[in-house]
Each structure stands twice: as structure tokens, then as C-alpha cells.
Chain A
């Protein structure tokens, strides 16, 4: 058993560029769910807009990546406004249903054969990261920290990703503590009460949806920059539910909640994955650590979900407010 590798894999997964992408996606969702009480089950759709917003223009049409980022911004805003116009006058459960449907529509659209010339279909899109690779100040050989090898491009994405995340998280923190954020919290508690105090609830919800959606789309972009490939399968509803898990783990309605939550989630997930891979390895006549009748090296990938799920369930059951959630803020849910 290579324990150093197991732990360094887990730790790296918690801070990598991939983790930063998840943190951004979850942070955006936290604005919707944690701060405004909007049950958005379609965050994967916003992430997909970010992913394909960079992949399609750069890969298919060789656009300037910064122009593509403008496409992402406009796309995310339009999606949020569209979803908002459809659902914000309805009760929150309808928002959940409509958002999950819209996210699936987007995924099925990019997955479909009919628009393969545009979206790459099932094969996805590649070759849209050259500009980012060129911008990297690190040597392509990368570094080795403990047992973990990190290539130069990933290291560059990691560093720039954390800077980006720092800026976005600070902005969110300031916004949530401003009177604007206070109105969102009020809407989360009781929108009629907020309405009776002279606030345009619809406009505030819309702003929340747009802000969280744009942040989610940036997260989606980072996700595919890290993978260097945009695949429809990455934007299934699982992504949304992972983001929810991260928020709940870290603490709902806190800006650091989704960041810490994503770190814990990804550490755990990757640790279990690495552990099972090592424990089922058959090498040079030696028996694997775990018996073959229980688990083998070609089925552990599914088992990691079970393990991770059980551990997450225990965490949530014994610390429902998450690591940084305010127990009081969670306790008085009178609805």
C-alpha cells in the first residue's frame, strides 16, 4: 500500500484546478440556494454554458478566448433571465423542476448527433486551451510535491484559479453582507414579508439568479480548461447534486461554505478512490490487500461512490449545519 500516494492524491484533489472549478460552481449555487432560498437544480446547465461558451468559439471558430468569455457572460445572463421569467413568479418547487429540465435540455442538446458539427456531440470538444497553456509561466515539466506530480499547465490553472476564486469569493462576501444580501436573506425567510416592506422581490431574485449563474458558468469554464476537453457527460444532474453536497458539507449561506465543502468532498472522494485502487492492485504474485470475492480492480470505481455516500451521510447526519454553518441559523426553520 502506497499511503503517501493515497493521501497526496486526496489532498491534491482538494485544491486542484478541478476543485477550484467545483468551488465556483457551488459558490454560485450557494447564492441561489443558501442566500436567496431559490431551489435551483439546474446549476449544471449554467456550468455547461461556461464550458461550451469557451469550447465552441475557440475550438470551432478560433475566436479570441476573451471574446468567448463575453459569450459565456452573455449566455449565462440570458439563461438566468430566461429561467427567471419562466419560474420566479411560481413557488420554489416549480423552480426546481424547471431548472432541472432546462439543464437536461442543454446537456442533451450538446450531446446530440444533430448538432455534432457545432458541439462535438458525444465526442466532446478539444483543443481550446492553447492560449492558456501559452500563458503559463511554469515549465511544462511541472513539479512533484510529496508523492503528487503536477504538470506545469495544471499548476498554472491551480494558481490562477485560486486567484480568480479569491476575487469572486471576496466580491460575494461583500455583497452578501451588504443591504443587497440582506434582502436576499429576507426573501429566503419569507418573500411576502419582504414585499410588504417595499422591496421588489422579483428583481432581487432575478439578480441573485444572474449572479449565481454567471459564477457557475465561470466554474464550468474552469472545469473544461482543466480537463482540456468539454464532454456532455460532465454536465449531468450529478454535477448539480455534487455542488449541493459541497454546500451542505461546508455550511449553507456562508461564502467559505462551498469552498471548504468542496475541499472535504473531493478529498474524501479521491481518497477512497485511491485507497481502493491501491488495495485491489495485483502485482507480481502478491495478493491484493482486499479479497477478490469482495472487490476487484475493475469494479472499485463504482464502490467508491457507495463509500463516499455513506461517509457523507454520516457527516450530514451528525453535523447538519455543515462545518462552518451557524447552528442557530439552521435551527429555527419554522416553515
Chain B
């Protein structure tokens, strides 16, 4: 299917990413983005043509699976196609997590060799609705774990709970051995667990570089009295600026350094949010739908950036609806539905998991899907 073409024409699949900038590092930036945009338009057109060809069937499917589930149904379907085709395509990078998951049982709550997050019995109720009810979850250090599930599965709520933005009714969890129950979100971030948001939170009326500088941790100048004087924080500010500029370069945002963040495109804001979160120097990065609203060309570079996070030794947990992305970069996938974790496993195996298919397609799963296959 055309998705394969889209996801693979941006960057050559390779086991290692030696350079910080994976795509055409030599080409001037504007030209490069232009070329990338063009490529994405081409790809999108090709995809459109492809889609039109299978339109009748999909329209059929949509009419059967009414409502928001429809889109996801198609995604799963595409994803399962991918699973079949990935066999022939070399998976890009499992460099640092190769073999780690070999001995891990693919079942909900399975223990990992070296977990950075261990969550136990986390439950969050909104009135009568149990939004999250996770018995046990371990997240492997220095790996990319995907958290997927249909809308309303409780993924974002679970994110909020882990990062302290929301408090559970019961349960406990540790981050690198430290219990996090009742810890304020800013303290969680200072400990090295940094999140991004589903709806990007670029600080619009601040420049890109100011967004970045804000991210740096333990700034002396953030104390009221020291801020008033200049000398206590000047040096630190310069160091932070150097680090910020390096990150901007890596995320190809250096040409918008002094623009207001509000003038960036949706995809650039996602990049900025990710770059900004790295200013905190996190051990674990939690991305809430990093691909939402990002064009295909930029998606490829985002994927590379996420892989790079792991290759730098960080742990990544992300929520995503884009199955291509999940299949391509995750080392381990956790599936949530109705607040519970219903399956865990390497990405390749999930297409065959009956529970996952049920969760995504509900009771409407049936003849149409069978015919497709």
C-alpha cells in the first residue's frame, strides 16, 4: 500500500543514525524544506490516487462502523497490512534495544528486564466513569514504548496521572525507584520525566529561543532577587542559549529562532515542543500524540528525532493513533481500551491479537475486514 512509500521515502532505513541531522544535512535549509514539502505533496497525491481506487470498500466499511471508530478501523486495517509487509522491509533501528524484549512475555503487566516506570493498581474515576484502571505496567528503560488504544481508552488520562497533572483515586507508581504519588507535576519534570501535550502548547507570544531557554532546569535567574541582578545568571544563560541553539539546529528550527512561536506551523510547533522538553534534560520523554496534525514529510523527520532520543539513552513513551508510526519506531506496544491494558507486545504481533482487533473494531468487526484480507 502507498503508506509504505510515504513512510520510507524520506529517509533510508538504517540501523544507526550517526548524524544528528538525518536528512540531507548538506542542503541549505529552505531548499531542503521545500524539497521535502514537494516530496510530501507528491506522496500525498499518490496516496490519494490509491485511496480512490479502494474507495468503495472503505465507504462500505465506514457505513458499517459508524462514528469515530471508523477512522481507527481503517488505521488498524492499514497497520495490519503493514505488519505483513514489514517482514520484507528492514525495520529502521532497533539499535539500542535489540534483544531486550526477547524474554519478555507479551501479556498485560509483564515484567521487563530494567523498568524505569513501574505502575501498580492505578485507578482514576470521573464520577461513575472509570477512566483508568491499570493493574500493572512496567516501562522498559531506554526503549520506545507506544501506548495505543481507541479514543476514550484513557491514554491521555494515564499520561496525566503518571506525570502528576492529575491524581489517581488509588494506586502507586515509581519513576527510577522514586515513588511519585502525590508529587507535583513540576517536581516530576525536574526529576527527569517530561511530557508534551496532545494539543501543542507552544508559548505563542514568546520567541522560539525564549521558549527553549525557558525549558532549562535549575536557572539561578528564576529566583526573584537574583533575577534582579544580572551577574548571578548571565553565564548560565549563555550556556543555556548555546544548548538551545544546538537543539534548534538539530530540530531544524534555527531559521525561526527569533520568530514568535505563534507564527510557526503546526508541525514546527510539535518539533519546538519536543526540543523544548529536551532542555529539561529528561531521562524519560512522554509524547502525547506527537504526529497529530503533522504533514507526512515532517512525520519522517519527527520519527528520526524520536529514535534519536532513545539512541541518546532516553526512555520514550508515546501515545499515538498513527499506526505506521507505531509499527515503525516502537520497540514495545501497550494497548489500552476502556481504561485497562488489554495487551502488550512487540509491534509485529499485535495485528494478530484478537483482543486488540476487538477493542478497535468493537462488535462491528466482521465480514468487511475479512474480505479485505
Q: Which residues of A contact B (CB under 8 A)?
A: 171, 174-175, 178-183, 185-186, 188-190, 192-201, 207, 211, 328-334
Contact = CB atoms under 8 A, between A and B. Distances in A.
Classify chain B's interface size. Answer: 35 or more
A71 to B, nearest CB: 22
A200 B195 CA distance: 15
8 contacts: A174-B230, A178-B222, A179-B220, A181-B227, A183-B214, A192-B197, A197-B189, A197-B214
Interface string B218-253: 011111101111100100010000000000000000
B165 A179 contact: no
A197 B262 contact: no
Most buried by B among A189, A200, A331: A189
B202 to A, nearest CB: 8
Contacts of B223: 180
B342 to A, nearest CB: 28
B265 interface: no
Contacts of A334: 204, 262
Given A192-B201, A195-B189, A196-B195, 5 more contacts: A179-B219, A182-B213, A196-B163, A198-B217, A328-B260
A207 B202 CA distance: 24
A183 B263 CA distance: 20
Nearest to A331: B262
Contact of B215 (A188, A197, A200, A328): A197
A329 B260 contact: yes
A167 to B, nearest CB: 12
A193 B197 contact: yes
Contacts of B206: 182, 185-186, 189
Nearest to B184: A200
Interface string B185-226: 111011000111100011111100010011101011111101
Contact of A189 (B185, B196, B205, B227): B205
A199 B222 contact: yes
Interface string B254-279: 00000010110000000001001101
Contacts of A183: 214, 222
A198 B280 contact: yes
Contacts of A196: 163, 165, 185, 189, 194-197, 201, 277
Nearest to A332: B262
B221 A180 contact: yes
A196 B165 CA distance: 9
A14 to B, nearest CB: 29
A166 to B, nearest CB: 15
Contacts of A180: 221-224, 226-227
A93 B134 CA distance: 35
A126 B201 CA distance: 52
A199 B279 CA distance: 13
B260 A178 contact: no
Counting from the closest, the 7 A-B pairs by CB-CB distance are A332-B262, A180-B227, A178-B227, A179-B221, A193-B201, A198-B189, A189-B203
